[in-house]
Amino acid sequence: MLSDITPVLRKIAYQQHLSAEEARRALNLIGDEDAITDPQNSDGMYFLALTFGIMAKGLTADELYGFVLSLEDKSVSFPLDIDPANVTDISGTGGDAIKTFNIGTTASFVIASAGVYMAKQATRGYTGTSGSADVFKELGLDVFTYTDINKVQECLKEVGIVAFYTPAFSEHFKNRISFLTKLRTIGLTYPTPWHLISWVYSPVKMNSRVYGVFSDQYLKILAELFVKLSYRRGMVVHGVDGLDEVSNIGPTRVCEFENGQIKEYVVTPEELGVRRAKREDIESQGREQNIIDFFRVLYRKESGPKRDLVALNAGASLYSLGKSKTLQEGVQLAVSLIDSGASAQKLEDFVAFQQAKERLDEWKKKSQI
């Protein structure tokens, strides 16, 4: 009953934090209501009040943990006989101030070429000019219609990389996503707990993650969240120049977590072995150019700032997976995987599995490869 939400909202109004179970139950109750899709009726206002109130109060890791548990309650899981220590995803909150090409999508093929299973959650570009879903569609996989779990499992096991859109596997998520879309149409946009943790939950079991965030305000809270979710190792990153990735145009703030311990530090591009770039070197030039940049990095036609940016983020993931002893060595490993052609081969394998060679050939021609 939605009336059960009232005590929770009263607690938030008095600046009291929710327990994980309170946040979980509240989101489950509200999310089950079809009326959530209209923010102007009473039921939709519960979702608005819950999310707006928590952000105004100041959220906690326990509250985010409850929201992730709610996602898990309503989602699916992809059972796999793969060691979780060798599976990962590279994703983040989006909403960064600098719009770039698809860094995480490009990095995902580099990471997979190291023998890692990459379970890439993908969606369209809500805040940028293109999203990971746009790139994968050009590779023969439409994540919004790719809803056969067996196919997802088969692609991941045979190729080592797959992309999917987790909400597509559950009717429950349509209400929440429709509600956020409605808020945008009436001009009421604000960061919600949903934005922060949309891609934290993965239906694929894994032990390590690299997760980018649009504001350093949420670095430690998200690191604490991954610890609560029993991730063994990983990092939450924020490029202080406005990126939700490891940055090559300035310092990056990092919250690294390992076996329940969290340490915070700052790294610079120079420390990680790449040249500092300018903002205009990495900014997006539109959807088509973003996809061209994706191909040119993987096929070794781009060896400048965009390649460096991919290597930084792939390297962070490889380090978190234990493939290198230091973050710097992880970046070097990522560069070597690109330079050896291994990452391009992984892309070729993926396209072959999706039976999309003709489309790949068209993009290679556009990309002058």
Measured distance CA(176)–CA(258) in Å, rounded: 32
Distance of CA 347 to the CA centre of its chain: 20
Encoded tokens for 130 = 């293109």
Q: Where are the domains of the chain?
A: 2-74, 84-353
- Residues in Cβ contact with 262 at an 8 Å cutoff, skipping those fewer than 6 apart: 220, 223, 224, 227, 255, 256
- Residues in Cβ contact with 28 at an 8 Å cutoff, skipping those fewer than 6 apart: 70, 73, 74
Q: Does this model's pTM top 0.85?
A: yes
Asked whether the beta carbons of 102 and 122 are under 8 A apart, the reply is no
pLDDT tens sequence across 200-217 = 999 999 999 999 999 999
pLDDT band (50, 70, 90) for residue 154:
very high
36 pLDDT more than 50 = no
Tell me the sheet residues that pair with 119: 162
44 pLDDT more than 90 = no
pLDDT tens sequence across 49-95 = 888 899 999 999 999 999 999 989 988 889 899 999 999 999 988 77
Measured distance CA(361)–CA(2) in Å, rounded: 53
Measured distance CA(205)–CA(60) in Å, rounded: 24
For tokens 């906690």, name the residue: 60
Kindly state the DSSP code that residue 14 receives in the 8-state scheme: T
Query: Which strands sit side by side in the sheet containing 161-164, from one edge to the other?
Result: 87-88, 117-121, 161-164
pLDDT tens sequence across 326-355 = 999 999 999 999 999 999 999 999 999 999
Q: Torsions phi, psi of 148, nearest 5?
A: -90, 110
Distance of CA 91 to the CA centre of its chain: 2
Mean pLDDT of 350-369: 97
What's the whole-number average pLDDT of the chain? 90
pLDDT band (50, 70, 90) for residue 191:
confident
pLDDT band (50, 70, 90) for residue 179:
low
pLDDT band (50, 70, 90) for residue 127:
low
The 3-state DSSP class for residue 47 equals helix
Give, in order, the Cα–Cα distances in Å from 64 to each of 17, 255, 298. 11, 17, 35
For tokens 């009232």, name the residue: 6
Asked whether the beta carbons of 344 and 320 are under 8 A apart, the reply is no
Q: Tell me the CATH class for 2-74.
A: mainly alpha
Question: Shortest CA distance to 19 belongs to which of 27, 218, 265?
Answer: 27
- Residues in Cβ contact with 318 at an 8 Å cutoff, skipping those fewer than 6 apart: 111, 114, 116, 324, 330, 333, 334
10 pLDDT more than 50 = yes
Measured distance CA(10)–CA(30) in Å, rounded: 16
Distance of CA 102 to the CA centre of its chain: 11
Taking the domain 84-353, which CATH number applies? Answer: 3.40.1030.10
- In the chain, what's the furthest Cα-to-Cα distance? 61
Asked whether the beta carbons of 107 and 335 are under 8 A apart, the reply is no
